[in-house]
A and B are shown apart, each in its own frame.
Chain A
Amino acid sequence: MSFDNAYEAITEENDARWAFGTGFTDPLAGVDRSVPSGVDVADLELYCLMLGDDALVFSHRLQEWCTRAPELEDEVAIANIALDLLGQARLLLARAGQRSEDAYAFFRPEHEFRNVRLAELPRGDFGELVARLLVFSTWRLALLHRLVESRDPVLSAIGLKGVKEITYHRDYAAQWTVRLGDGTAYSRQRMRAGLATVWPYVGELFVPNDVELRLAAAGVAVDPATVRAEFDDVIGQVLRAATVEVPDVPANPGVSGRFGRDGVHTEAMGYLLAELQSVARAHPEATW
């Protein structure tokens, strides 16, 4: 199809290709969303927001790497990983089910976001990106792998799809960890510094929240404490191959024992949301 100018092309009637921004097709269209017996709808919503916000917020941080990656291949890889996570976020926000995807992503205030704080940390350098992606994808792969056994068929399907995708993300981060850690003195220093930056936020990944515990007992969710051993094992393999050690840094304490899962975030989160939400808030309900 040819057009006289670009504007004519994007205003073509009934063309869903240009519905970017708002007004997406429901990613769960036609999927049976009945809630499994004995499961509280509010708990299921919060749990889906936890896993969904992890993906949404970290995807946003990865998107910040567009035009900033060291090589074209990595630019493409990071953008692809961000896209996979955005897709997972959309499915999970749709499964949360009490508001629209857009309402969840663009109109919630900071304290209603349930992502772990690791996801929101500022972009940092490439060493920090590799360290964070290694930690995040190792943890999330272990979680989603167990989520496949969920009594909720939608969460189980999202888990299985996610496992296939995150396997590639984890390998990408692991191979870069080895290349940088076991590389030159300078790359090694940057890799170690990256690990030291993210490590204070590792402990929080395994602290179960009340909602996770209730839903884990109901056979729907995964208690994150149960994936610690697998996480340590995989990270151990990677760091040994990279000839770097687990950083010896103190954990970042939450606020009175509360963390990202409770809606308590770091200073970086407000700035991140300001950027993520500004257009949607300035032009609510706009489509283009």
Chain B
Amino acid sequence: MVSARAVAERVTDPELPMLTLADLGVLRDVSEQGGKVVVEITPTYSGCPALTEMRADLVDALARAGYRDVEVRTVLAPAWTTDWITERGRRKLAEAGIAPPDTAPRPGGPVPLTLGPPVRSVPCPRCGSADTEELSRFGATACRSLHRCRDCAEPFEHVKEI
């Protein structure tokens, strides 16, 4: 029988199917306690609707592997950060044309206000050019922003740092 951890680690994200929940860093822990599997996951954003689907997918995948008694627990603290996306996850994002996040800002002191355009341009995941612009800080899902490359003229998405 495949271990519950191995099964849970293979479940993919519903919105970013090139990533597993482990790649994304939302899978906090998998433990077996007397025949019962306890999976801990953490939300990326408070309102992320994918969390419901992740729960269902985890329960389904574990049931198919023979684990019938599964509890999926939410872990709120510490809050998810894009720094938890694995190296493999970052590579797979880039391969899918989504620019991976840079290092997330560290909390501490009052949050600074940003009035100008972003200082750092996100490198284009298609041609590698640094000459890109942000179109919108909000994209198709809560975790992504919209950008355009001025060199290859392609639009692309970026997993924004939080």
Contact = CB atoms under 8 A, between A and B. Distances in A.
Given A19-B52, A170-B113, 6 more contacts: A30-B40, A90-B46, A162-B46, A168-B160, A174-B115, A230-B110
Question: Which size class do B's interface residues fall under?
Answer: 35 or more
Contact of B146 (A73, A164, A167, A171): A73
Contacts of A91: 46, 76
Interface in A161-199: 161-165, 167-168, 170-172, 174-175, 178
Interface in A96-131: none
Contacts of B110: 142, 145, 230
A160 B52 contact: no
A160 B107 contact: yes
Contacts of A80: 138-139, 142
B151 interface: no
B77 interface: yes
A234 interface: yes
Contact of B115 (A31, A74, A178): A178
Given A25-B52, A237-B115, A86 B47 contact: yes
Contact of B77 (A28, A157, A238): A157
Given A29-B73, A160-B107, A171-B113, A14 B79 contact: no
Interface of B: 40, 43, 45-49, 51-53, 55-56, 60, 71-79, 107, 110-111, 113-115, 135-140, 142, 146, 160, 162
Contact of A161 (B46, B71, B114, B137): B46
A16 B73 CA distance: 16
B115 A241 contact: yes
A153 B113 contact: no
